[in-house]
Amino acid sequence: MQITVDGKELEFNPGQTIYEVAKENNIHIPVLCHYEQVKPIGACRVCVVEVERARTLIPSCCTPAEDGMVVYTNTNRVLKSRKLTVELLISMGHHNCMTCESNRDCVLQDLAYEMGIEMPRFEEPKERKPIEDANSMIIRDMNKCVLCGLCVRVCQEIQVNNILDYSGRGPRSTVGPAFNMSLEEAGCKFCGACIQACPVGALSFKQGRFGGRTWEVQKVQTTCPHCGVGCQIELWVKDGKIKRVYGVEEDNTENKGQICVKSRFGLDFVHSPERLTRPLIKKDGKFKEASWDEALDLVVTNFRKIKKEYGSDALGGIASSKSTNEECYLFQKFIRSCLGTNNVDFCTRFCHTPSAVALSRAFGGGAMTNSMRLVEKADVVLIAGLNFTEMCSTIGALTKHLVQFGNLKLIVVDPRGVEIADYAKVWLRPNIGTDIAWANGMMNVIINEDLYDHDFVEKRTEKFNELKKLVSKYTPEKVEEITGIPKEEIIETARLYAKADKASVLYGMGVTQHIYGTDNVSALCNLALLTGNVGKEGTGVNTIAKQNNGQGAGDMGCLPPIYPGGQPISDPKVNKKFEEAWGVKLSMKPGVTESDMVINKGKIKGLYVVGGNPMRSGPNLNNIRKVLEDMTFIVVQDMFLSETAQVADVVLPACSFAEKDGTFTNTARLIQRVRKAIDPIGESKPDWEIICELSKRMGYEMSYTHPREIMNEIASLVPPYGGVSYERLEDGGLRWPCPNKDHPGTLYLWKDKFNTKTGKGFFFPADYNPPAELPDKSYPFVFTTGKDLCHLHTGSYTRHSAALLELSPEDLLAINPLDAQGLDVKNGDKVKVSSRRGEIKINVRITDRVPKGTVFSTLHSSEIPVNVLTIDTLDPLAKTPELKICAVNIKAV
Amino acid sequence: MKIFRSHILICGGTACRASGSVAVRQALNHEIARRGITNEAQVVETGCNGFCAAGPVITIYPEGTFYQYVTVDDVPEIIEEHIIKGRPVERLMYREPETEKPIPHVKDIPFFGKQKLIVLKNRGIIDAEKIDEYIARDGYLGVAKALTEMTPDEVIEEVKKSGIRGRGGAGFPAGLKWTFARRAKGDVKYMLCNADEGDPGAFMDRSVLEADPHAVLEGLIIGAYAIGAHQSYIYCRAEYPLAIRRLNVAIAQAKDYGLLGEDILGSGFDLNIDIYQGAGAFVCGEETALMASIEGRRGMPRPRPPFPANQGLWDKPSVLNNVETLANIPQIILNGGDWYASIGNERCKGTKVFALTGDVNNVGLVEVPMGTPIGDIIFDIGGGIQGGKKFKAAQLGGPSGGCIPAEGLNTPTDYEEITKMGAIMGSGGLIVMDEDTCMVDTARFFMEFCQEESCGKCTLGREGTKRMLEILTGICNSQGKEGDIELLEDLAATIKDGALCGLGQTAPNPVLSTIRYFRDEYEAHIYDKKCPAAVCSAFFKSPCQHACPVEMDVPAYIALVRAGRVDDAYKILKRTNPFPGVCGRVCPQFCANKCRRGQLDEPMAIAWLKRYITDNGSRPNVEPVKVTREEKIAIIGSGPAGLTAAQDLAKRGYKVEVFEDLPKAGGMMRYGIPEYRLPREVLDIEIGDIKALGVEIKINTRVGKDISWDELKNTYDHIVIAIGAHKSWKLDIEGEDIDGVIGAVEFLRAVNLGKTIDVGNHVAIIGGGNSAIDAARTSLRNGAGEVTILYRRERKDMPAQAVEIDAALEEGVNIEYLVAPTRIIAEGGKIKGIECKKMALGEFDRSGRRRPSFIDGSEFTLDVDTVIPAISQGADTSFIPEDAEISIKRDRFEVVGRNGTMTTADGIFVAGDAASGPATVVEAISQGHKAARDLDSYIRGKNNEPPYKAPSEERIDIPFEVDEETEEQPRGSMPDLPVTERAGNFKEVEKGYTKEIAYKEACRCLRCDAEIE
């Protein structure tokens, strides 16, 4: 296939537009309303070209090249038309380049210059439209809008939020929310994709207004510190402050330019006035600022004292999913080598450890099997217990996009009507806590209807007969009884999942935060193994971690029984390797979990918490408070005075992600760089520096000049990270396993074999059991918790973002309209919610997105300690508490 | 089935319903019941019958009698007289416009008789809500044939053979479109009907849907079968509730009859048809926007490719045809493609339906074979222009179309030919505009529509149209500036070439076509600050004043007449016109032509009120003006132009001398206009006023004879030539030089000089202008026994004033129409007769009138004694030496610049007929003013003097008095001499208004000059 452009004969692939062919061959055609990620609409007419035998000029951006086509891109006719078009665009509104945030980063400005337009022949409109800047995030100045429609298209096509659209006709055409509503009123999610897409200055960052222009800022690419997706972002920095945030539009990122409100506008927490800038020492119940020497010496003294008095195992450390890999590595190294104990754990204990346990026993490894963009390759995706669009907004949006514009079919299983359920082909709404039952029911149908993958089951699995036997009990009828899901839906869902060429399972904490969370995950693993949906692109069992480095902290060995890279401490060979590397004798005695540190009152006397906040995330907070108060000495290292920090004896001020170098490993095993963009705020220091300093003072020298060196050490000791180095990470992330320098990383796991003893996948059939606490007469409601779009990490960052607080100011109790009627409460009314363990007061939001009899709350407001209600019964294997279900009573206040 | 003796078909189309047909239908039923003849007569409500202008209309069969403007009150008479007694009611019949003769039978009415009906074959005949009536007229035979005897490919082949092209506007061959969709891969396809008719003034689709909905359904079924679709949507605008209702009824009936739904006619073919109501966005007529709208999205077009035939509705292969196209299909299948292709012209087959609206007599729907000239539709079927006004242009193709001027009346209705003219066929909207239409304003109107209806998606469609409208609005608001036309052309070209969709690409058409044909009107708006049609009100206080060549303050002097202040009124007259007494008698009244009162009943009698003022007011005093300037001016000719220039220059302080060849001053006013129209004392008084300023008139002094050109040039600093047009044009036929042939102006001059002219018994006058009429009436007064005017066209084409023609006829003048002389027969050096031929009217000429041509073998001879050619006249320029470097073309002096008065020789000016050709007194006065102004500026410019500033005028308060309510009331008639008292003398025929008539007439003024605050 060949076309001729300006006399040059060019090859092209069918489907390519004239513009694409020209661009590929370095032939310049100006564009305005064009953006690769959305459908071309040919609206602006800037890209017109002359095509032989065509009656009119042709928009090159949306016209497919045809064999033998003869195109001219710069004839007089074309140039004249373009120039007039640009003149018309300029004179559509009021463009003041003087103070425009898009100055020098403006397609219209470039076009005006290219066309040599001193002054358009048309007058500016007489009227000025008012600038909309009521919210603290987006400024909409429609005086600068050129109606390219890119904001509309990214909102509709990429983010699938459908907040923006055209309205009005002809010269009164405009873009924005319907009925002239403000963005807030229209339910905008403030992903800010529209700002990023806007080619002119019509949409801009309010936070960055007058904060620095494109050529004055330093642009730093780094990894978003919020959720587990690990979006690549570009920070625009000036005078030590983050001014604007853009999504990085590279193909080798998970987000490809898209980010969510937390990243776009929620990074202002870095500059929060509430940031800790000096170490604090508690004296007589009150914190006083202290010098680093004072504070660290006090820590050293106390740790030494406890170690001496009670032995090493009276000390414990809780790491954080928020720290970098390097810091997590150093932390567990510090605990193990310097404090001499394996009492090291991290916050995942309260959320995703069941995944690690279940996936490990089934496949031989506890990580998400595929990548975040697996949805692009899947035919069917089953999403269970996961508020996908709020948890992982960018991938949630991608999923909505694929449903709306592609062929992806979704099965959503959730008692709550989460947004992604609106896009489901089937939405199963089970009684809360009955996951094993519906999963078994699906397998029952799949086996009965002979829809399972015989070949896969035979060649790559073990214990099929056990599974077959167990699930035979779970007839659709019985499952309907347990779950409340109509049996027809079970059957339909089973067929849909089993018949898909590539089916994937994505799940969240709705599955894991149960006393049988591990079995829940096993049930999903069984489903995948049964249908052969493991070891291929677009399939797998995919645990979606809520935290930016939940995967990395586990990889780095912040878990009692394992060294970094999942190497068991019980293996003498491993032990020896680390002893040699670290130059100390290491304990082979199993350590205790976070649950055994803070829930079950035990032997821990001294606790070192980095970034964790069990005083908010843990269950039955009244109990945790008692346990912590009983300890001898607690040191908390954090950016803010978290609830846990408040009960500490010493608080060490830590840096934010923006103030340090390092790496995060996203929930899909992708290791990406965190780059220092600003200097530490106040006297705060990066965690790795604090740990090194502390270790040195404790007598174990750890001297690193840069996290790069720590990564080199990790690579040398951790096989899956063996090929990782900062040099390689410069060009994008690496997905482990990446055992050596030449290994490209691994997109999905278990392609040919599993990492089990036999190399096969193991079925772990599980029976349904009821939750620990069910509603009764005294406590008639099921209480469940979760997160919303704006907050996560217990709100420890996000509650310090003015923008995010503006959008989501407080926790609300979501309640079904029927229950609200029964309780005689209206939207916004305050109620008292009590469980056997405590009570809270909270305002009500009535919504049928929660089923009757169930109430739901987020857990971010420090004013409302939601977790005083939850139960601390643990999953026997993973030691994860059943945070998702407890029984409560509700009274109007 | 029950048989009735009489069927009364009453039109139930939207237009007739709006004029009351529902009540008439009820009254008919009521009256039939009351008379107890329900078994004999049946009332049938049909769809639109097409003759919307005359609604409500009924046709009674079997006689085929057509009644128009039927009211409820007429019903008892119709039943009693026509139905019961069998006597048709003549007063309700259609009348021939020229003769007022009633036409009893519907087929003889030109509106119906000249049409060819395929699409509209059932209109006004069947009850649209009864499928049986449709079937009875071969309905669904097309479907039956297609589904049972033909393969889909054969159906497409037949449609291709017919040559039918999309009637929605673009004219894409329908068969080809179907082929593409048939070939497109996909199991789901859609057959769509575009009933989103949105052009202002177009209503053919609505009418077809209302009158014959099954024809459209049948077309859809055949189309769906051909392309392999099983679902069909009719996208109909919600503003068409009656069409939607009838479609719904039709769909239900067709389903009932097994003609829709599953297994149609047992053929195994399934089709479901749904109606989708559009919200009335013009752009949704654009196919991709229409499909977006059906999909529930905002109706915005998208670029093509992909073409809908491959990826249309919901990305499935789709065919969209408009209502008219589909309504043709059953006939094509039934009668064959060859039959269809035999109708129309080379390129365009079949018929086309036009919605004929605007300033045409017969507003309505017409269907004609493709290729019928536009002029035939307007003048034959449409019955010509309303109110005897002149045709100016026809807007074809709605807001995306273009204006076709008079010179395009012969354009055949053919896609390509119309496009060549700068318009488009479009969906067939044909809006006729008369001389009172401002073409800039028209362009502005359509541009406003297009920009309002632009979807807002593409820059050129949205911003381009906005800017064009802005410029046009500026021009219409008298803010036009140099470069505007060029910028409009620039924008138009770019938008046409670069907009996304058809709406955008065609939006500039009205502007481009009006600039192409009426550039002078744009220029008049921009440079002269004039709206020639007196439409754009920003240019004037009142249309009458604006239309007057000297801009007389008409509302002011009429108000003063009403207030009884005749003296003040006289002062107002004299400010702009030195000859109000003359004009009050002979002016053709450009003002009255634009008078707003004319839209209510009749225009004001402006000239007669002017005459009343000069007859009854005391003449304002004239003081001599001192000569203050050095320059001496010579004016050649003492007609209205020369004397006006003389007056103005004298007032400016110049020494002015006027040279007159004839014994008295006045020019054509004295030697052209007969005394019975203009008594000489009136003229003498007004000339006297000019002399009183100090102007010297040298009579009996012919330049070139009594004083040489060179002497004149040497003696005077500047010359104004105002010699008029005193030389009759020749007929250019055999025998013209014979004694007894005398030009009209020469004849009138001789009579007015008091010479005795023996015209013999029978005088033949050739021509149709005012000179011809003057010559005829003067001949009668000079003793002719018989006077015959020979005119080669029809009366409506005569340039003479209607009152003059009427007066001549009253006095006994014969007028032979469609006759032209071929030879003057002489015998012995004297005229014996004149040989003539009859003329037939053919194609339209550039003036918009049909061109006459000789009918072979129609020769006849009139015995006459005198022949007076009165076809036109020119200036006698023989006195200008060849070396004077003054350019003269066709007996006229050429001027420099736009609307200039300077000849090609520097400093020599010209005014009046000598420059413009034969025109009117008031135009000559205007030219006189202009020449004086130009000459003065010229002199001052050369001397670097500031411009002339007129002395301040006496302030005259103009009362504002209007009646609370305006009642229809004809213009006050002019008392005149009875014919018997006129014979053989030159007494003034018109006697002038009395005070009472004048007051009453003045009260008719609507005072549209008033500014409402």
* Chain B residues near residue A165 by CB distance under 8 angstroms: 298
Contact A815, A888 (CB under 8 A): no
pLDDT score of B588 more than 70: yes
Q: Residue B592: which residues within 8 A CB-CB, separation 6 or more?
A: B544, B598, B603, B604, B605, B606, B607
Q: Give one word for A853, left, alpha or beta, with left for phi > 0 and alpha for psi -120 to 50.
A: left
The pLDDT of residue B334 is 95
Task: Tell me the sheet residues that pair with B429.
Answer: B355
Contact A439, A523 (CB under 8 A): yes
Question: Distance of CA A313 to CAs A308, A340, A554, A593, A605, Å?
Answer: 11, 8, 21, 12, 9
Contact A207, A156 (CB under 8 A): no
Contact B163, B331 (CB under 8 A): no
What's the full length of chain A, in residues? 893
pLDDT tens for residues B120-176? 999 888 999 999 999 999 999 999 999 999 999 999 999 999 999 999 888 899 999
The pLDDT of residue B124 is 83
Among B196-205, B362-371, B436-445, B859-868, where is mean pLDDT lowest? B196-205
Mean residue pLDDT of chain B comes to 93
CA dihedral sign, ordered B362, B366, B368, B371: positive
pLDDT tens for residues B626-681? 999 999 999 999 999 999 999 999 999 999 999 999 999 999 999 999 999 999 99
pLDDT tier at B426 (50, 70, 90 boundaries)? Answer: confident
Say whether B494 and A165 touch across the interface (CB within 8 A).
no
pLDDT tier at B1 (50, 70, 90 boundaries)? Answer: low
Q: Residue A422: which residues within 8 A CB-CB, separation 6 or more?
A: none
* Chain A residues near residue B451 by CB distance under 8 angstroms: 170-171
pLDDT score of B340 more than 90: yes
- Say how many C-beta atoms besides its own lie within 10 A of residue B785's C-beta: 13
Chain B nearest CA to A80, separation (Å): 8
The pLDDT of residue B846 is 87
pLDDT tens for residues A332-367? 999 999 999 999 999 999 999 999 999 999 999 989
- Alpha helix positions (H), B184-301: 204-211, 213-227, 241-256, 287-294
- Alpha helix positions (H), B868-994: 913-916, 921-943, 979-982
Contact B886, B908 (CB under 8 A): yes
Q: Give the E-state strand segments of B696-797 in sequence order.
A: 696-698, 718-721, 727-728, 762-766, 786-790
Q: Residue B670: which residues within 8 A CB-CB, separation 6 or more?
A: B662, B664, B680, B683, B752
Best CA proximity match to A695, nearest among A444, A401, A332: A332
Contact B649, B936 (CB under 8 A): yes
C-alpha radius of gyration, chain A, whole number: 29
Q: Residue B600: which residues within 8 A CB-CB, separation 6 or more?
A: B966, B968, B1006
**Chain A nearest-CA residue for B302:** A41
Task: Tell me whether the omega of the peptide bond preceding residue B76 falls within 30 degrees of 0, making it cis.
Answer: no
pLDDT tens for residues B777-795? 999 998 889 999 999 999 8
The pLDDT of residue B678 is 95
Q: Give the E-state strand segments of A77-205 in sequence order.
A: 138-140, 165-167, 174-176, 203-205
Flag whether the ipTM exceeds 0.85: yes
pLDDT score of B803 more than 90: no
Q: Name residue, tokens 């003793």.
A: B783
Task: Tell me whether the omega of the peptide bond preceding residue B62 falls within 30 degrees of 0, making it cis.
Answer: yes
pLDDT tens for residues B961-1009? 888 888 889 999 999 888 888 888 888 999 999 999 999 999 999 998 8
Of B494, B505, B506, which to mutate for an interface test with A (greatest number of A Cβ within 10 Å)? B494
Q: How far apart are CA A698 and CA A301, in angstroms?
A: 9
Contact A201, A238 (CB under 8 A): no
Contact B553, B540 (CB under 8 A): no
pLDDT score of A701 more than 80: yes
Contact A417, A541 (CB under 8 A): no
Would you state the structure tokens that stand for residue A138, as one six-digit string? 């987006």
**Chain B nearest-CA residue for A122:** B467
Would you state the structure tokens that stand for residue A393, as one six-digit string? 């907004």
pTM: 0.90
Q: What is the CA B496 to chain-centroid distance, rounded?
A: 28
pLDDT score of B220 more than 90: yes
pLDDT tens for residues A556-593? 999 999 999 999 999 999 999 999 999 999 999 989 99
- The letter for the amino acid at A713 is E
Say whether B494 and A81 touch across the interface (CB within 8 A).
yes
Q: Residue B249: which residues within 8 A CB-CB, separation 6 or more?
A: B129, B213
C-alpha radius of gyration, chain B, whole number: 33
* Chain B residues near residue A166 by CB distance under 8 angstroms: 298, 300, 456-457
The pLDDT of residue B1011 is 76
The torsion angles phi and psi of A514, rounded to 5 degrees, stand at -140, 165
Contact A399, A381 (CB under 8 A): yes
Q: Residue B334: which residues within 8 A CB-CB, separation 6 or more?
A: B138, B141, B142, B145
Q: How far apart are CA A151 and CA A175, in angstroms?
A: 8
Q: How far apart are CA A593 and CA A316, in angstroms?
A: 9
The torsion angles phi and psi of A445, rounded to 5 degrees, stand at -65, -45
Nearest by CB to residue A173, choosing from B462, B499, B505, is B462
Q: A8: helix, coil or strand? A: strand
Contact A183, A230 (CB under 8 A): no
- Say how many C-beta atoms besides its own lie within 10 A of residue B971's C-beta: 20
Q: Residue B920: which residues within 8 A CB-CB, separation 6 or more?
A: B549, B586, B587, B588
Q: Residue B343: which residues within 8 A CB-CB, separation 6 or more?
A: B116, B118, B349, B350, B351, B369, B370
Query: Which whole number is the average pLDDT over B354-364?
Result: 92
Query: Which whole number is the average pLDDT over B882-901?
Result: 89
Would you state the structure tokens that stand for residue B163, as one six-digit string? 């040559």
What percent of chain B has a predicted confidence (pLDDT) above 90?
Answer: 81
Query: Which whole number is the average pLDDT over B788-810?
Result: 91
Q: Give the E-state strand segments of A162-292 in sequence order.
A: 165-167, 174-176, 203-205, 218-223, 232-238, 241-247, 280-283, 286-289
Chain B nearest CA to A734, separation (Å): 40
Chain A nearest CA to B506, separation (Å): 12
- Alpha helix positions (H), B362-459: 374-375, 415-420, 439-453, 459
Contact B356, B386 (CB under 8 A): no
Contact A833, A842 (CB under 8 A): yes
Q: Provide the number of CB pairs (under 8 Å) joining chain A to chain B.
A: 101
Q: How far apart are CA B186 and CA B175, in angstroms?
A: 19
Nearest by CB to residue B462, choosing from A56, A80, A170, is A170
Say whether A173 and B453 touch across the interface (CB within 8 A).
no
- HSE-CB at A743 with a 13 A cutoff on CA atoms is 18
pLDDT score of B70 more than 80: yes
Q: B765: helix, coil or strand? A: strand
Q: Residue A709: which residues within 8 A CB-CB, separation 6 or more?
A: none
Task: Tell me the sheet residues that pair with A101.
Answer: none
Task: Tell me the sheet residues that pair with B655.
Answer: B632
CA dihedral sign, ordered B998, B1004, B1010, B1012: positive
The pLDDT of residue B1013 is 56
* Chain B residues near residue A48 by CB distance under 8 angstroms: 498
Strands B318-322 and A886-892, bridge-based pairing: unpaired
Chain A nearest CA to B286, separation (Å): 15
Chain B nearest CA to A251, separation (Å): 28
pLDDT tier at B1012 (50, 70, 90 boundaries)? Answer: low
* Chain B residues near residue A91 by CB distance under 8 angstroms: 463, 467
Would you state the structure tokens that stand for residue B109, as one six-digit string? 């009415």
Say whether A89 and B499 touch across the interface (CB within 8 A).
no
Contact A566, A560 (CB under 8 A): no
pLDDT tier at B2 (50, 70, 90 boundaries)? Answer: confident
The torsion angles phi and psi of B234, rounded to 5 degrees, stand at -105, 115
Q: A658: helix, coil or strand? A: helix
Query: Which whole number is the average pLDDT over A183-197?
Result: 95
